[in-house]
């Protein structure tokens, strides 16, 4: 079983942030299987700016795949499903 940890950084509840949260959650539901567990954490950097500093975030929304390595980053509202899957290297067999 592979566990994927996806952190979605947003800067306030903006429409783009909402779309990104929605898109990512939907994608997680779609690709999740018994062998592929996807955990999503949504972090608002306005509340925790130090985390934005640690991750060197410039643009939001941005999703960072922390686990498994290597680290992958995808920025934007995640509206294109295929590009997100490739960008985060989520293998769908």
Partner 1 sequence: MQVTMTTASDNAVIPAADAAEESTNKQPIATGIEGLDFVLQGGLPAGRPTLLRGAAGTGKTVIALTFLCHGIAAGETAVFVTFDEAPEALLGHAEGFGFPARRYLAEGRLRILDMRPDRNEVQVGETIELTAILARIGFALDSLGATRLVLDAVDGMETGYADLPSLRGELTHVFDWIRDRAVTCLITVGEYADFSTRYGLEDYIADCVIALTQEVSNRVMTRVLRVVKRRGAAHGSNENPFLLDRGGIFLVPVTGSVLSAKVSDARLSTGISGLDAMLGGQGPYRGSITLLSGQAGTGKTSIACSFARAACEAGLSVLYISFEESLDELIRNQRSIGIDLDRYHRTDGRSVDGLGALLLQPVRAVELGLEEHLMRVIRSVRQHRPALVILDPVSGLAGRSRDPVAKEMLLRLLYLIKEEGVTTVATELLGDDSAGVSHLDVSSIIDVWIKLRRHENDGEMNRLITVVKARGLPTSDQVKEFRMSTEGLRIVDPYLGESGIVYGTARMARQAEDEETIDQLHIELERAHQLRAELSEIQAANERLARAEHEVKTADLDRQVAQIERRLAAIERTRAAIGRGRA
Which tokens in the block code for residue 56?
A: 């060197």
CB of 34 to partner 1, least distance (A): 27
CA–CA separation, 67 and 1 (whole Å): 13
Q: How far is the CB of 1 from partner 1 (least distance, A)?
A: 26
| Phi and psi torsions of 17, nearest 5° | -65, -45
User: Using alpha carbons only, how large is the chain's radius of gyration in Å?
Assistant: 13
Site for partner 1, rule CB under 8 A: 9, 11-12, 14-17, 19-20, 45-46, 49-50, 52-53, 56-62, 72-80, 83-84, 86-87
The tokens for 45 are 């950097």
| Of 35 and 49, CB closest to partner 1 | 49
Return the number of the residue (34 or 58) whose C-beta is nearest partner 1. Answer: 58
Shortest Cβ 38–partner 1 spacing (Å) = 17
Q: Which two tokens stand for residue 48?
A: 């925790």
């Amino acid at each position: 079983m592979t566990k994927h940890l996806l952190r979605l950084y947003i800067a306030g509840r903006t429409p783009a942030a909402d779309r990104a949260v929605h898109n990512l959650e939907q994608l997680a539901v779609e690709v999740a299987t018994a062998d592929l567990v996807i955990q999503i954490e949504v972090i608002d950097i306005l509340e925790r700016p130090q985390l934005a500093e640690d991750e060197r975030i410039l643009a939001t929304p941005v999703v960072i795949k922390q686990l498994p390595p290597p680290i992958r980053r995808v920025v934007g509202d995640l509206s294109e499903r295929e590009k997100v899957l490739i960008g985060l290297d989520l293998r769908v067999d």
